[in-house]
Amino acid sequence: MSDLVRYRLEGKTAILEMDDGKANALSDTMIEALLVALTRAEGEASAVVLAGRAERFCAGFDLRVMMSGPDRAKALLSRGSELLMRLYGSPLPVVIACTGHALAGGALVVLTGDVRIAAAGAFKIGLNEVAIGMPVPVLAMELARDRLAPAALTRATLLAHVHTPEEALAAGYVDEVVAADQVVTRAVAEATRLGALGRMPYQATKERLRGRTIQFIRDNLESDMRALMFPSGAPK
């Protein structure tokens, strides 16, 4: 497995731990490592835990790539969208152990989890796109619409509010907040419980719950990325 993603089995639960030694940005190599790990987990495990490193869950898409030109940015967003939809529609239960900060694309990774456990502490969770001068893309908006409390949606997207873990719990980003040294342990316990459920009914119910959103995102991804990259409607 990649140096960026540690993979281990605990019983029938696959634990994937992102660690690039920094903020866990979604670079090309991080995304590829996560896709490989997820494929492996779907072949040998009953549930998945996705965690970050201490105090850093995921900083979102690699800004160096995003600022290097529209073609490279579009390619990264396309690959990252594939990862997010794989997580969101995984046939296995996916439990997020949000070990620290989760901003922009990192917050989207949190939203893909079936159950999301966050570490208590001075951490930031949220979609800050508007605050940094970017529209919230369709991918992010639809995941937020699916998972966040309706009353929290405008504040979380249009107003670019960045949440504390406790605020994230109230808004619907996460389902539970625990002590930082317990977040992975708690996530593994929850994944073990969910992994004991029947795989066929779990997968079929998830498809009924999320399939429409996943299809809508896939159908609109290309045109939305063109609008983001070329707002004047110039090159296609």
Q: Please write the tens of the pLDDT for every residue from 46-79.
A: 999 999 999 999 999 988 888 777 788 888 899 9
Say if 212 falls within a structural domain: no
Say if 215 falls within a structural domain: no
Name the least confident of 17-21, 109-113, 204-208, 226-230: 226-230
CATH number at residue 159: 3.90.226.10
Q: Note the pLDDT tens digit of each residue in 208-225.
A: 999 999 999 999 999 998
Residues 52, 58 contacting (CB under 8 angstroms): yes
**Sheet bearing 94-98, strands edge to edge:** 5-10, 13-18, 47-51, 94-98, 115-119, 176-178
Length reported for the chain: 236
The span from the CA of 77 to the CA of 66, in Å, is 9
Domain range enclosing 30:
5-195
Give the residue among 135, 102, 114 at the shortest CA–CA distance from 23: 102
Say if 208 falls within a structural domain: no
Number of domains in the chain: 1
Residues 117, 72 contacting (CB under 8 angstroms): no
Q: What distance separates the 2 farthest-apart alpha carbons in the chain?
A: 53
- For range 132-155, the mean pLDDT: 96
Say if 114 falls within a structural domain: yes
Residues 28, 76 contacting (CB under 8 angstroms): yes
Say if 126 falls within a structural domain: yes
Say if 211 falls within a structural domain: no
